[in-house]
Chains A and B, each alone.
Chain A
Amino acid sequence: MALKIKNNKSKFAPEFTGANLFHKKDLQISLVLIAVGSFFFYEATKFPAPGMILGDTINADVFPKILVVLLIFLSSIIPFEFKFAAAKIKKIDEDRSNKIQTITWITLAMLIIIVFCSSFLGTILTMVTTCLVFPIVWGEKRYLAVAIYSLLFPLAVYLLFNKVLSLYFQPGLLKIFQ
């Protein structure tokens, strides 16, 4: 690993090997974390002063500020971590060298859409939709099994949580049948 880094002449080497001075991918992560930390620090400076009765002994901003400074300090080390923990960073690089597959992005989008629609659909229809859509989008070809699963699983969850444990299920669209 050390040899690879030494021979690397470009400043921004491929992510897998890291650069001469800093690791490209980790530098990006570090910058994001520092930006988030700075934003939180700025927000902390806007906290109102506590009432007179508390004096200067307790300030709501002290602890978060210390924490953010620590976070920024640690984040600034990440781009150089490959210098002193080469084996560990190599392992991380191996993991992230595999591109996120299209199906994962689709899954992510489905999760957001289902959560977005869940207030409108209601709990039961959200469960049915989830059990129906996910397997099919993921390439399940046994449609009868999917149909049975998308009916029986939500039914079992409904009976257990709503009827036995008295959990409130939002009716959503099913309200029209009530």
Chain B
Amino acid sequence: MDAIIQGFTLLLHFENILLIFGGVIIGVIVGALPGLSSPMAIALLLPFTIGLDPVAAISMMAALYCAGTFGGSITAILINAPGAPPAVATAFDGYPMAKKGQPGRALGLATIASVIGGIFSLIIFIFATPLLASVALSFGPVEYFGLSLFALSMLASMSGKSSIRNLIAGCVGVLIATMGVHLATGVERFDFGIEELTEGIHFVPVLIGLFAMSELLTQSQTLNAVIQRMSAKSLKLPSWKELNQLKWCILRSSGLGTFIGVLPAEGSTVAAMMGYNEAKRWSAKPELFGTGCAEGIVAPESANNAAAGGAMVPTLALGIPGSGTTALILAALVMHGFKPGPYLITETPHLVYAIFGAMLIANFGFLGIGLVGAKVFSYVTFIPKKFLWPSVFVFSLIGSYSFSSSMFDVWVMLLSGIIGFFMMRNGFSPAPLVMGLILGPMVEETFTQGMVIHDSSFFQFFESGVFLIFMGLTVMSLSSPFWSNIRKAFKSKK
């Protein structure tokens, strides 16, 4: 209880509240702008938060994460161009409802569903995080190695175009993480005679490059795209009667979203799509889906916001990111000197509760923004790309340089961006690479420790029951996409 009070007290400083609201506003803007995303915003903000109080910095990013998920729905509804991937499913019914002349109602439904989904998952977050952490405290290096392998294997089912490509990107991320001095032996690895590489490649410039620069190059191909926009004069909140009719749909989607969020590597996009599909399956009138029905808006919105809170559970309790964006929050924790994992809640419980508080404030923050500023925020889509993307490049340059005042990091950022652009064109998504990069050191460290404990015998790892369970889950998660693909291929042949 003391830790909860301490965590909330930390947030109550004027500066921290200001930063959280700043995070909410940035989150809604980047969420609303097609092309910009919350992972990109967090990647760009990371180097600038070094000088900030760690609790304030992490809280701001957590708030940005929540608000970014919501922000995408504004443009999904008004211009049929989801600002962020998790809002794709919202456009299925949000835009048709707006076209019917009810954009305010669509925005109101999305806002309320987002807030309920977000708060639902935070309640789970506050209870599940300490529980999961207490279980994880009994884990040794072998069990942790099994867990991190399972988390990496989940990349196969992560939202993306191809399971194998996701796994390859994850492998490349872990391989990049092995560069530099091997701490256990002092051996310099893959430095190729370049002095800067002896310290390895830091994740910040890589993240900025992968998320910002590659998107800049992608956006340069659609500079003159014209978008049709619905105008929302005001936001119309749903009535109690309507909310009462939708309550089971919202609660079911919130539960589903939280569960999917908790699974390593699964994110808000998968949660929103599953929330939408489940709502359609359970609906009394499934034929109305796609024509602008209320259930088609509240289901994906409550699910994707619930997934945001759910994804924080494994991130903070186990040090295993629940999504691409939480991988960046994990990176921020590492950058600010915290060691994510079960010890985070035992040693710095106030930080975990401060993050919880920040996300709670963020949920109410975007409710306020939805009520008074949805119309204003929808105008951000008018910012011309020809002015927006040079600004992103400026922030990328300053961010990657300021991290360690080194031009080498700027080149790493640029190279990562170019590689990321070609990766995306060929079906490789940057999120698995980031997960690999962040999880890489943990995978190797636990593997090495396990090998030392078991006298270099990997087979002795299987003596641990927990490791066996994780290996079983790993095999299942790796094989499931392939089995379903093979089944589909056979069906199509028949």
Contact = CB atoms under 8 A, between A and B. Distances in A.
Nearest to B178: A64
B398 A167 contact: yes
Contacts of A29: 426
A138 B217 CA distance: 12
A139 B386 contact: yes
B426 A96 contact: yes
A2 B427 contact: no
Interface stretch (B3-11, B168-176, B239-247, B279-287): B168-176
B165 A78 contact: yes
A84 B393 contact: no
Given A60-B187, A64-B175, A115-B397, A87 B426 contact: no
Contacts of A48: 187
Interface in A68-98: 68, 70-71, 74-75, 77-78, 81, 83-89, 91-92, 95-96, 98
Nearest to B187: A60
Interface in A127-176: 127, 130-131, 134-135, 138-140, 145, 149, 153-154, 157, 161, 165-168, 170
B175 A68 contact: yes
Contact of A135 (B192, B390, B417, B447): B390
Nearest to A135: B386
Question: Could you say which of B162, B407, B492 has the most chain A C-beta atoms within 10 Å of its C-beta?
Answer: B162
* Interface SS of B by simple majority: helix
B455 interface: yes
A167 B395 CA distance: 13
Contacts of B447: 63
B48 A165 contact: yes
Contacts of B414: 111-112, 115
B136 interface: no
Contact of A63 (B51, B162, B448): B448
A115 B411 CA distance: 7
A171 B112 CA distance: 49
Contacts of B162: 81, 85, 88-89, 92
Given A54-B185, A107-B220, A40 B168 contact: no
B168 A67 contact: no
B447 to A, nearest CB: 6
A68 to B, nearest CB: 7
Contact of B187 (A47, A130, A131, A138): A47
A115 B410 contact: yes
A126 interface: yes
Contact of A154 (B171, B393, B394): B394
B299 to A, nearest CB: 25
A17 B389 CA distance: 35
B223 A103 contact: yes
Given A50-B185, A91-B161, A138 B425 contact: no
B402 interface: yes
A123 B161 CA distance: 38
B189 interface: yes
Question: Could you say which of A63, A86, A87 has the most chain B C-beta atoms within 10 Å of its C-beta?
Answer: A63
A86 B489 contact: yes
A20 interface: no
A123 B221 contact: no
A67 B48 contact: no
Interface in B390-429: 390-391, 393-395, 397-398, 401-402, 405, 407, 410-411, 414, 417-418, 425-427
Contacts of B390: 130-131, 134-135
B8 to A, nearest CB: 27
Contacts of B56: none
A165 to B, nearest CB: 6
Contacts of A140: 384, 386-387
Contacts of A2: 489, 492-493
B224 A161 contact: no
A1 B223 CA distance: 33
B12 interface: no
Given A29-B426, A54-B185, A84 B485 contact: yes
B165 A64 contact: no
A95 B427 contact: yes
Nearest to B222: A101
A138 B171 contact: no
A10 interface: no
A142 to B, nearest CB: 9
A64 B189 contact: yes
B171 A71 contact: yes
B260 to A, nearest CB: 21
B189 A103 contact: no
Contacts of A145: 387
B178 A63 contact: yes
Contacts of A119: 407
A167 B221 contact: no
7 contacts: A50-B186, A62-B451, A96-B426, A107-B217, A139-B386, A140-B386, A161-B48
Task: Give me the 5 closest cross-chain CB pairs, A-B, nearest first.
Answer: A60-B187, A92-B427, A134-B390, A50-B185, A60-B182
Interface of A: 1-2, 25-26, 29, 33, 40, 43-44, 47-48, 50-51, 54, 56-64, 67-68, 70-71, 74-75, 77-78, 81, 83-89, 91-92, 95-96, 98, 100-101, 103-104, 107-108, 111-112, 114-115, 118-119, 123, 126-127, 130-131, 134-135, 138-140, 145, 149, 153-154, 157, 161, 165-168, 170
Given A74-B164, A85-B162, A139-B223, 15 more contacts: A2-B492, A47-B189, A58-B448, A67-B171, A67-B175, A85-B163, A92-B161, A92-B162, A104-B220, A108-B418, A111-B414, A126-B397, A138-B223, A153-B394, A157-B395
